[in-house]
Structure 1
Amino acid sequence: MLTFQKLAQPQSLTEAYEILTAQKNNFLLGGGAFLRLGSAKRGTAVDLSACELNYIEANEEEVRLGAMASLRDLETSLSMRQLGCGVAPQAVSHIIGVQFRHSVTVGGSVFGRFGFSDLLPAMLVLQASVHLYKGGIVPLAQFMEQPPQKDILTQVVIPRQACRASYQQMRTSCSDFPLLNVAVAETDGVWKIAVGARPGRAALAIQAAAALDAGVAPEEAARLAAAELSFSGNNRASEEYRRQLCEALTVRAVKEVLACK
């Protein structure tokens, strides 16, 4: 389990950033629900709960998710349920249980870029961007490829547009991490395919999505996605099994999107 010497609860983002960068081993407490997955001794843990980031706001152009909004807030948000056929609420609904989703934050889930994340594939196909205190506005797809950094994710922003989307996943049990997950979306004839739990970070299948734009069959696009992305094995699933899951779940997701009105 991760341990730390001090807990800081700053009242502003400016104060939070100053504490975070004061020492090399200071860190944000976001993603703390998964502390037991690691083992390290750190300095000061920075808790953002007093920085007024617990919100979900929407206007005609976008939906803004504050970093401290919980996954349960996202799951029950009417604005998020109306966005992309409710793909993001559907994705997080698979995570353990309601009580757990009340404690896990959007910021911790996104900034952590966990390979097993259910949320990230959905956010990728919804073309979300992240707002960083120092790093500015970064498209999520670009942020996923960046190395770890000392910054504070303040909010996740999703454009409101006519989008049809689907989320598919495979687990060995309801409370387990996904063996593989897939999100697919179509917006004005442009497709996005994201595959996560490979077991690495979720990534977009660019070539497979372009093939769907050109009108190929779902089965061919799924084959291209499985060939384009990298997979590996661990004690939970083999590389070959994940590649086969990618094909099966991608076909299922594309067909669900095509059937969505």
Structure 2
Amino acid sequence: MNFEEIIMPATVAEAYHALVTRENPVVIGGGGFIKLQKRRVTTAIDLSRCGLDAIHLTPENIEVGAMVTLRTIETHEEMPRALKTAMRNIVGVALRNLVTVGGSVMGKYGFSDVITPLLALDTHLEFHSKGRMSLEKFLQSQDRTPDILVKLIVPRAAHSAFYNLQLTYTDFSMVNLAIAKNHHLRIAVGARPGVARLLKDPNLHLSPQEILEPLKFADDDKASGEYRRALAETLLADALKEVAQWK
């Protein structure tokens, strides 16, 4: 991707103003994947000076700034286990020091190991203009109205876990699965290869095959949809064994 101009606003309000008034703008999170795109952009808006790289703890939630890196999440003691585990599987430390959680979410990447645990954890997003909405609603939305993601609100789950299968240690997942429990059990399945989808309060008397039946799995150059479904069923069987040990 080529930029004609890069600006570095000092506040989110300034960044949002540039986003809605400049011609053909793009927001830069960490920039880990955006540079792979082959297009020319008039204005690139770099959020690195907007103060969005902090983590705030409350008794119920962990508030994660949109510019917090995956490596910071991986090494933070208070993060839910599913989220920390997912971060450790993403390529290498150098990339995780660059890629931001906000950029990963806003991209709605179908291969994402970041979105899946966040979805299982019932994460909510806070935007500068639109306010707060659930990650689930955001992933399903077709709204293209420009906005700046300010932070993610991640509940402190009593229990959570992340499972995935990769061809190699640094490769993207062929399929991934996260499971979390507070008051209710939530299962998210991603890299199907579409963006992660959520199963709420599944009937645990059903088999993994029956629980996953509503989800669609597709072919790509990594695996067939049929193979992905079989992998997901195996991962879910392992996850449910762990759930049986949760109190």
Extract unaligned runs of 5+ from structure 2. none
Q: Aligned residue pairs: how many?
A: 246
Partner residue in 2 for 1:136: 131
Alignment of 1:5-44 (within 5 A): 5-30=4-29, 32-44=31-43
Partner residue in 1 for 2:84: 89
Alignment of 1:62-81 (within 5 A): 62-80=61-79
Cα distance in structure 2, aligned partners of 1:26 and 1:146: 21
| 8 Å CA contact 2:54, 2:65 repeated in 1 | yes
Q: TM-score, normalised by structure 2?
A: 0.94
Deviation for aligned residue 1:210: 2.8
Partner residue in 2 for 1:231: 217
Alignment of 1:246-261 (within 5 A): 246-260=232-246
Cα distance in structure 2, aligned partners of 1:15 and 1:21: 10
Extract unaligned runs of 5+ from structure 1. none
Alignment of 1:110-259 (within 5 A): 110-147=105-142, 148-161=144-157, 163-188=158-183, 190-206=184-200, 209-212=201-204, 216=205, 220=207, 222-259=208-245
Matched, 1:50 2:44: no
| 8 Å CA contact 1:166, 1:184 repeated in 2 | yes
Aligned Cα RMSD in Å? 1.5
Partner residue in 2 for 1:4: 3
Dislocated runs of 4+, deviation >3 Å: none
Residue 117 of structure 2: SS of its match in structure 1?
Answer: helix
Cα distance in structure 2, aligned partners of 1:239 and 1:3: 35
| 8 Å CA contact 1:64, 1:157 repeated in 2 | yes
Cα distance in structure 1, aligned partners of 2:165 and 2:225: 14
Residue 166 of structure 1: SS of its match in structure 2?
Answer: strand
Answer with 32-41 or 7-16: which moved more.
32-41
